[in-house]
Amino acid sequence: MRPDSRAVHAGRELRARDPLAPPIVQAAVHVFDDLDDYVDVASGRVPGHVYGRNSNENTSTLAAAVAELEGAEAGVACASGMAAIVAGILALAPRPAPLVVTADAYGVTLAMLRGDLAPLGYEVREVDLHDLDAVARALPGAAAVLAETITNPLCRVTDLEAVCGLAGDRGVPVLVDNTFASPALCRPLELGAALVVHSATKYLGGHSDLVAGVVAGGAGPVGRARERVVRMGSSLGPFEAWLALRGLRTLHLRMRRHSENAFALAHGLVGLPGVVAVHYPLLEGSAGEPLARRLLPDGAGGMLAVDLAGGRAAVQAMLSELRMVRFAASLAGVETTISYPDITSHSALSPEERLARGITPGTVRVSAGLEDPRDLLEDFTRSISPRR
């Protein structure tokens, strides 16, 4: 099937008399009347489920659907995007070892690496993955590389082909956080990644009504990730999985509109009084445009960032004027929202670290929703440059 059809049908093969919509299997445990049958199911030799922490019909269907969309052999659903990242890392680096991570990674990812894995003996090597010479210098002895297709919050596109090529030549697997792009716009496994992770809370679910994560990739590393999810209790619940699968069915449609709206909004904000810079991968003339057009030919998604003159006071002034757009510490819903990295996604970093990454006191992250782009631009234009 072509990608649009896969989004609608991934994860399920309907038989006669099956419900068209998947039922919610809200069960913590399944019953058996044969000991050998239980052993076969529990070991994975035959299909089935024994206990909700191990698997469930809804979570398995979601994992299979995301794996299919990513072109992966297998997938596992997790309680959150961060749970997926931890499971993916431990699948690739089960013992303390150096980890190479993009320096402009999601702030909570950096905080987890520094605050949770480093004390256990992992060495965290923060590197600008856009500097391939720096990547090459950081790879010796590394157990894994952590990259993001589109970084949070400044929306820089990573040259995954080059990074995965360098790492692959040295036998180092690459884990890619594909949350901002989704499999509708990029499939990192085809570019050489070993694992791909998603915060399904975001574009996969798409409606700001669930928290979930997914790991997808080869059967071997995903199997190791699944073992950790089961042992550490970071499994996803059936209702959240059902919601995420429902959202996944319209992913291809939503990503087109998210991309169109973000592109239109980014264009409209360039040069606006009070706007110092606009960060969006496909802006003409931007440093990352050629790479973005090669890696993301179908659109760059709905995320952009804006730097306002005047710092935090200017951000608050804009927020006070916005009528339709609201502040929310998440992204990728149908409604357009803004977030302020200083106090949300990158609050664990020091002001100096944020500045070093290009995040200023005036940086606002924008998640372009599905509204009419003219309404969005009017709301931002009036709020950034109000007429008094």
Catalytically active residues are 53, 106, 177, 202
Cβ neighbors of 358 (< 8 A, separation 6 or more) are 104, 154
Distance CA 290, CA 60 (A): 38
Distances (CA, A) of 161 to 15, 88, 158: 40, 20, 9
Assign 51 to helix, strand or coil. Answer: strand
What are the residues facing 235 on neighbouring strands?
78
CA dihedral for 314, 327, 66, 7, sign (positive or negative): negative
Cis peptide before 297 (omega within 30 of 0): no
Residues 77-99 as b or e (16 or more Cβ within 10 Å = b): bbbbbbbbbbbbbbbbbeeeebb
H-run or E-run covering 326: strand 326-327
Distance CA 141, CA 188 (A): 23
Residue for token digits 């299979």? 64
To the nearest 10 degrees (0 to 180), the angle between helices 81-92 and 219-232 is 120
Which tokens is 354 given? 């944020």
